[in-house]
Amino acid sequence: MPFFNREKEIKEIKAILSGEPNVVWFVYGPINSGKTALLMQVIEELPEDYRVFYINFRGFEGGYRKFTRVIFKVGDDSLWKKLREKLDIISAGVEYVERLTKKINTGIVLPAEFIRCLQVGDVDENKVDVFNYLEEVMKRFKEKGFKPVLIFDELQVIKDEINATGMPLLARLFNFFVRMTKETHLCHCLCATSDCLFIEEIYSNARLEGRAKYVLVDDLSKEDAFKVYEGFGFKEKELIWEYVGGKPGDIVSLFEELKRGIGIEEALKLLVASERGRLKWKLRLLKDGEKPGPPVEKIMSALQFFKEREEVEEHLIEGRVLKFLIEENVLFYNPLTGRVRPQSRLLWHVIKDLF
C-alpha cells in the first residue's frame, strides 16, 4: 500500500521515540488505515543511532517455539563459532547480534544453534530464556550509545494463545515490555493492531494500568483524503468520499478498479458489492452453524443501530454480539472513546442497505 501523508502521526511517534522509554505504546486503528506503512515511514526517518527491530506476527502459529521463530532469523554459523571459542555462550550471542544488526531489522539474526537453545530454554550449564536474552541484547545496545526500538506488528495474530494456554506467553511478553520501558528504560516498545478489543483484554489481563498509552492511526480526514484523491486523478471527490471516505486501502482498491476503464459509479458499486458479499457470507456461516457466534437475529438487531448513525456507544450492543462483530472486522472499536463504527464507509453503506 502506498504511504499517505501522516505528518501529525509521524511527529507524535518520533516525539515518543526521542524520549526515554517509560510506557508501552499501542498503535491502533481500523483495518487498512495504514498503520504498518506509517511505522515503516517513521523508522526510515529515524537517525542512524537507532536500532529498530520490526517483528510481524503474521508468521506466528502458536507456542513458545514458534514465537522464537518469528522474532529470530537464522544467520551464518561461521562467525558464531569463532566468537564462541573466546566468550561464554550468552555473551557470544549478544556480540553476534551486535555485529550483524543494522538500523532497521525485520528480526534478530542468530545462528541456528543458538535459536534452538532459546527454544528449549537450555544451553549447556546455562539457562537461556528468550526474554532474558532480549534484555541482554537491548542493554548492550544502550551501553554502546544506540537507541533500541522493538515494534511488534499484527499483534492480534497471537490472541489465540489466550484460549490455548491461559495467556502465559502474552503475560510474559507484556511483562517484558513493561520491564524494558517503565522499569529499566532500555528500549521503546510499540505494539500495532487493528483488534482493539484484544488491546482491552491485554490491558486488563496483563495489568497495564499506568504502563501503556495509545496512538490512533485512523482513516484520513476529508481534507487529507481529497488531496490523495487529486494524486490519484479522481474527479468526483464528494461522491468518492461518501462511499470510500479516507480509508487508504479502499482508495487504492478504487484506483485499481478505475484502471480497468470502468466508470466511477460502476467501480463504487463493485466495491460495495464486494463488502456486501463478505458480510452476507459471514452471516450465512453463522446461521448454518459453521461459525460459532451469537444468533444472526441479534447480529442484525445490533447492525440496525448504524442505519442512521455511523458511530454509536459500545454499551448499546450486547457484549457477545459486539465481540463477534469486532473480531470479524465488521465493526471498529475505539477503546479511548468507547465508541464503535463500521470498519469502512463501504461497509456502512452495505449495513444501511440491509434495512
Angle, helices 7-18 vs 35-45, to 10°: value is 60
The neighbouring-strand residues paired with 147 are 50
Identify whether the C-beta of residue 195 lies closer than 8 Å to the C-beta of residue 159.
Answer: yes
pLDDT of residue 209: 79
267 and 283 in a common domain: yes
Number of domains in the chain: 2
Residues 151 and 13 in one domain: yes
Q: Are residues 183 and 272 in the same domain?
A: no
Tell me if 178 sits within 8 A of 150, measured CB to CB.
no
- Same domain assignment for residues 151 and 134: yes
Domain boundary among 156, 190, 216: 216
| pLDDT 10s digits, 108-134 | 888 877 777 776 654 444 456 788 888
CATH of the domain at 192: 3.40.50.300
pLDDT at 132: 85
Under 8 Å between Cβ of 62 and 160: yes
Q: Does residue 348 lie in a domain region?
A: yes
Average pLDDT of the residues of the chain: 86
Which H or E run includes 275?
A: helix 264-287
Say if residue 236 is in the same domain as residue 319. yes
What pLDDT does 164 receive?
54
| 308 and 178 belong to one structural domain | no
Give the containing element (helix H, strand E) for 341. Answer: strand 339-342
Examine the domain organization and report whether 104 and 228 are in the same domain: no
What pLDDT, on the 0 to 100 scale, is given for residue 108? 86
State how far Cα 77 lies from the chain centre: 32
User: Residues 95, 193: one domain?
Assistant: yes
**283 and 175 in a common domain:** no
Domain-embedded: residue 244? yes
What is the predicted pLDDT for the residue at 124? Answer: 44
Q: What is the distance between the alpha carbons of residues 46 and 104, in angstroms, rounded to a whole number?
A: 10
Burial of residue 139 (CB within 10 Å: 0-12, 13-18, 19+) is middle
Are 165 and 237 contained in the same domain? no
According to the model, what pLDDT value does residue 30 have? 93
> How does DSSP classify residue 126?
B
- Tell me the chain's radius of gyration from C-alpha atoms: 23
Which residue in 248, 108, 244, 251 sits closest to 187, CA to CA? 108
Between CA 355 and CA 40 the distance in angstroms is: 41
Q: What is the pLDDT of residue 174?
A: 86
* Residue 22, in any domain of the structure: yes
Q: Which residues of the chain have pLDDT under 70?
A: 1-4, 59-65, 86, 119-128, 159-168, 205-206
Look up the domain containing 295 and give its range.
Answer: 222-354
Judge whether 2 lies within some domain: no
pLDDT at residue 50, rounded to an integer? 95
Domain boundary among 173, 197, 216: 216
Question: Looking at residue 4, what is its pLDDT?
Answer: 65
Would 144 be classed as within a structural domain?
A: yes
Question: Is residue 1 domain-resident?
Answer: no
What is the DSSP secondary-structure string of 286-297? HHTTSS-SS-HH
Q: Quick check: is 179 in a domain?
A: yes
Is 46 a member of any domain? yes
Secondary structure class of 88 (helix, strand, coil): coil
- Provide the b/e sequence for 59-96 (b: ≥16 CB within 10 Å): ebeeebeebbbbbbeebeeeebeebbeeeebbebbbbb
Residue 332 pairs in a beta bridge with 341
Beta bridge partners of 192: 27
Which of these three, 195, 216, 237, is where a domain ends? Answer: 216
Q: What is the CATH number of the domain that holds 347?
A: 1.10.10.10
Both 188 and 237 in one domain: the answer is no
pTM: 0.84
Query: What are the cell numbers at 168?
Result: 502465559
User: Looking at this protein, which amino acid is placed at residue 149?
Assistant: V
Q: Measured between alpha carbons, how far is 347 from 178 in angstroms, rounded to an integer?
A: 37
Question: Same domain, yes or no, for 334 and 185?
Answer: no
